[in-house]
Amino acid sequence: MLTNKLIRPSVSIHPINRSSASFSTYPINRSSVLSAKLKNHDLLKHQSYINGQWVGSSTSRTFAVKDPATGDEIGNCPDMNLVDLKLAIDAAKKSFSSYRYSTPASRQSYLRRFNQLILSNAEDLARLIVAENGKCWKDAMGEVNYAASFVDWFAEEALRTDGTIVPSSTPGIRHLVIKQPIGVVAALCPWNFPAAMITRKVAPALAAGCSVIIKAPAETPLTALALAELAHQAEFPAGVFNIVTTQSATPEIGKALCESEEIRKLSFTGSTGVGKLLMSQSSSTLKKLSLELGGNAPFIVFEDADVDRAVEGAIACKFRCAGQACVSANRFYVHKSIYAEFASKLTKKVSELKIGSGFEEGVLIGPLIDERSLEKVSRHVRLAKEAGAEVLIGGKKVDGVGHFFEPTVLSEVPSGVIDDEETFG
């Protein structure tokens, strides 16, 4: 989140007093069921985090957070609006005026503490991920370590904001290029990796000297708020790390972040359609953008491949997070000479995948995130079958509560039926 500029600044550092934040606070509402699963109850938050304070919505409205494996409500969060967002922008702008001049060593220190806190609370963070996202325990723990790795990496990178001396064609002139933080950074984060996608966006910004505003995903805000608590414990200055939660005002808040003159960079992970919209909305401010958009990756198996290894790779590539990952394989192309063998072995491996709540031992396939995702996967299977595809295994919703869909293998799917749209399941 650095920008190059030819300057010779004379700066001073002004610490921010956390106690001076002018935000009201409200009692924390805890879900007793989820709270009982945690060792560190301070991580379970039901308020947004702005300017170093836990705050509710200006309208007092909230939205429910549900466990996709059971449909049970596990918490509620503030349904914030544009009035609340302005408070976050103002806080981030104010904190940036001093945090930008903090030393690289001090920013490294903040990030190192943040990383240590993530790792020491790894199991509780994983429990939150399982509860609101639904992924299995193995995937959730893997994500927490993945999330910490970004903080660890950029803690070291904080010291490497080196400039450049550029040769000049004019005698007696030297060009010095230094790197400086770009400004307030907005991070629009997805629900499928509720911890890792936040740290991947905010760690480089914090290392560079930028303040951040995170728009937490409405499906998985509890993990985001737990990270805010750890950032608070890491003692980032008030206003440097902010999280806004919302459900009803997501489009309006996204648009406001894009059009705000105070937001100098925006990072988004999500669908290509939304990415295009955000780019369009950011055009009036010529905002710097980082966009990680939808995928449609093929998994290709050539005739000389080791079939057993290819099958193992296919399982890992496709079924992580119940197929709800941007890099998941969306279609398989297998050489005809090994097609039957690959299909048979893949089907057998898929049949061994245990479905259930991520809290259950041995479960590898959790639920899809919501009813809409369940309907999309069902539609893809139906369209493929109508076009002549054969269902080798699975192919339908699991009976009972939760958004579970059987791990499915379709054979002989005609080209163009479902392979031009990301299934995300």
- CATH code of the domain covering residue 17: 3.40.605.10
**pLDDT tens by residue, the chain, 425 residues:** 665 543 322 233 333 333 333 333 444 444 668 999 999 999 999 999 999 999 999 999 999 999 999 999 999 999 999 999 999 999 999 999 999 999 999 999 999 999 999 999 999 999 999 999 999 999 999 999 999 999 999 999 999 988 999 999 999 999 999 999 999 999 999 999 999 999 999 999 999 999 999 999 999 999 999 999 999 999 999 999 999 999 999 999 999 999 999 999 999 999 999 999 999 999 999 999 999 999 899 999 999 999 999 999 999 999 999 999 999 999 999 999 999 999 999 999 999 999 999 999 999 999 999 999 999 999 999 999 999 999 999 999 999 999 999 999 999 999 988 988 999 99
Are both 87 and 50 inside the same structural domain? Answer: yes
Structure tokens at 230: 């750890």
Q: What b/e sequence results for 287-322 when a residue is b if at least 16 CB atoms lie within 10 Å of its CB, and e otherwise?
A: bbeebbbbeeeebebeeebeeeebbeebbebbbbbb
- Strands 175-181 and 164-166, bridge-based pairing: antiparallel
Q: Is residue 421 part of a domain?
A: no
Q: Which DSSP string corresponds to 181-230?
A: E--EEEEE--SSSTTHHHHHHHHHHHHHT--EEEE--SSSHHHHHHHHHH
Rg (CA), the chain: 23
Q: Is residue 422 part of a domain?
A: no
Write down the pLDDT at residue 166. 92
Q: How many separate domains does the chain show?
A: 2
Are both 42 and 69 inside the same structural domain? Answer: yes
Write down the pLDDT at residue 33. 82
Are both 313 and 274 inside the same structural domain? Answer: no
Are both 138 and 255 inside the same structural domain? Answer: yes
Are both 262 and 369 inside the same structural domain? Answer: no
Choose, from 292, 312, 360, 421, the residue flagged as catalytic: 292
Are both 191 and 273 inside the same structural domain? Answer: yes
Q: Is residue 425 part of a domain?
A: no
Are both 313 and 271 inside the same structural domain? Answer: no
Read off the CATH number of the domain in which 327 is found.
3.40.309.10
CB under 8 Å to 20, separation ≥6 — which residues? Answer: 238
Measure the CA–CA gap between 63 and 24, rounded to whole angstroms. 19
Are both 301 and 281 inside the same structural domain? Answer: no
C-alpha dist (Å) from residue 112 to 109, 122, 149? 5, 15, 11
Write down the pLDDT at residue 13. 32
- Strands 241-244 and 409-411, bridge-based pairing: unpaired
Q: Is residue 74 part of a domain?
A: yes
Write down the pLDDT at residue 16. 36
> How many C-beta neighbours within 10 Å does residue 277 have?
16
Write down the pLDDT at residue 14. 34
Out of 292, 323, 343, a domain closes at: 292
Out of 261, 292, 323, a domain closes at: 292
**Is 178 exposed, middle or buried (CB count within 10 Å of its CB: 0-12, 13-18, 19+)?**
middle
Are both 306 and 348 inside the same structural domain? Answer: yes
Strand partners, 214: 187, 243
Measure the CA–CA gap between 199 and 184, rounded to whole angstroms. 16
Are both 334 and 256 inside the same structural domain? Answer: no
Measure the CA–CA gap between 265 and 184, rounded to whole angstroms. 7
Q: Which residue has the tokens 């699975």?
A: 394
Q: Which of 29, 54, 63 is nearest to 243 (CA)?
A: 54
Q: Where are the beta strands (DSSP E) in 285-354?
A: 288-292, 297-301, 329-334
> How many C-beta neighbours within 10 Å does residue 420 have?
10
Q: Cα angle at 292 between 291 and 298, to 5 degrees?
A: 145
Q: Which residue has the tokens 């809409």?
A: 372
Q: Is residue 424 part of a domain?
A: no
Are both 187 and 171 inside the same structural domain? Answer: yes
Q: Is residue 317 part of a domain?
A: yes
Active site residue 406: no
Measure the CA–CA gap between 298 and 249, rounded to whole angstroms. 35
Write down the pLDDT at residue 31. 61
Length of the chain: 425
CB under 8 Å to 166, separation ≥6 — which residues? Answer: 175, 176, 177
Measure the CA–CA gap between 425 and 421, rounded to whole angstroms. 12
Measure the CA–CA gap between 203 and 151, rounded to whole angstroms. 5
Q: Which residue has the tokens 């296919």?
A: 314
Q: Is residue 416 part of a domain?
A: no
Q: Which of 338, 186, 212 is nearest to 266 (CA)?
A: 186
Domain span at residue 177 reads: 2-292
Out of 292, 308, 331, a domain closes at: 292
Q: What b/e sequence results for 93-116 when a residue is b if at least 16 CB atoms lie within 10 Å of its CB, and e otherwise?
A: bbbbebbbebeeeebbbbbbbbbb
Are both 146 and 196 inside the same structural domain? Answer: yes
Q: Which residue has the tokens 């998941």?
A: 328
Q: What b/e sequence results for 24-52 when a residue is b if at least 16 CB atoms lie within 10 Å of its CB, and e otherwise?
A: eeeeeeebeebeebbeeeebbbbbbbbbb
Q: Is residue 227 part of a domain?
A: yes
